Structure 1
């Protein structure tokens, strides 16, 4: 009998992350909703009202939180088959490449890129032991060279780096039945995207969920929007 799969979704308490949790649980996937604020995570879990969803405190920049997750994986208290690197911020929209403060750039990189990298470095080796895994990196069109401009540099840097990580990690695990892909949800109505965005969270989450549920012969090391390949 095939074991029920478990997904870990960072930044799962709101926006696209919350919707990814909802859709995965509706597809009979156990979901670990990860939130840096446990109270907000618990409220989100209660709102989902699905017994397949649990919640953990996980700030992807916090060493203690990351070590706690590593220990739970080592002891088999938790098993992660699907990792969704969704946690992220965008706070430099009013800045250009010549004037974004270094501290702002560094903070954005720390959460959006280094958080995803460190979490992948913890989780993926356990996937390798289990000979199965799916890693989905929530990137952005702002990280594509086809869409590059001078604004919001820290956010763009972080997504370019995430895209590079996707290709490198996919190559690392290509013989381990682990598929690693990135996707852009488009401009979605969330706290990050704003109220003027033309896509809803259901549309924004759909491709991420599709990548989470890929068959073993699915794509690896690619970038998607609306389930179609997207230019790096």
Structure 2
């Protein structure tokens, strides 16, 4: 039986590349995204390569959407092997709060947290039991070097706060794995040339997904509750 992987934000960038890479490794990939109809071209391109992918609607900012999504997964598949919480937003510059924390609006923080932190928290909370019952799972929270408390941080306060909190989500769920072969880790892909990262970023998408794939395919006894880039530990 094929392993099942869920990738959120799978319509573009890191999510799309990760979905393709996992499908190439033999996974059935559930590509979760807000608007599957708009990604039909990308989905068809993957299916033309004979890859086992399916698009499903998921709005990570909506608890109802998350609940409906997980109910559909439970009914159609009954288990999940890999969850990659990749979907996220970076809107500080759009709301005028990119340059200084003093210009950051409460509404920007709340909107960013809803998608970047609360969404992954709720999705993991609902998917985790499907892994626990099988005794196996790999959960990857796509974080950022911008979340590191060990580094001086300026600008993009909402995004940084949300990703630092996401690292705590990793820590909390990692503490609940018990005897099951479940690994929950945060991964920073680095500054990647995607729509979010922009054209001046210093890493390619292929470089960015390297650590995500590593954490998604860890062997039994692999690290749990850590923060990594390219498979190497990062300081929190």
Range of TM-score over shorter length: over 0.9
User: Which of residues 2, 9, 15 in structure 2 aligns to 1:4?
Assistant: 2
Is the Cα–Cα contact under 8 Å of residues 33 and 41 in structure 1 kept in the other structure?
A: no
Instruction: Note if 1:117 corresponds to 2:121.
Output: yes
Confirm or deny: 8 A CA contact 1:142 1:148 kept in the other structure. no
**TM-score, normalization by structure 1:** 0.95
Distance (Å, rounded) in 2 between the aligned partners of 1:189 and 1:153:
21
Matching of residue 198 in structure 1 with residue 196 in structure 2:
no
TM-score using structure 2 length? 0.93
Separation in structure 2 between the aligned mates of residue 174 and residue 44 of structure 1, nearest angstrom: 38
Q: For residue 11 of structure 2, what is the aligned residue in structure 1? A: 13
Describe how 1:75-224 pairs up with structure 2 within 5 A. 75-77=75-77, 79-93=79-93, 94-224=98-228
What is the deviation of 1:76?
4.5
- Structure 1 regions of 5+ residues with no counterpart? none
Aligned positions, number: 230
- Pairwise CA distance, 1:91: 1.3
State the Cα distance separating 1:192 from its structure 2 match.
0.4
Matches within 5 A, 1:21-36: 21-36=19-34
CA distance in 2, matches of 1:16, 1:213: 16
CA distance in 1, matches of 2:54, 2:75: 18
Q: Name the SS for the 1:146 alignment partner.
A: coil
1:77, distance to aligned residue in structure 2 (A): 3.6
- The equivalent of 1:65 in structure 2 is 65
Deviant stretches of 4+, over 6 Å: none
2:168 and 2:32 map into 1 onto residues whose CA distance is: 24
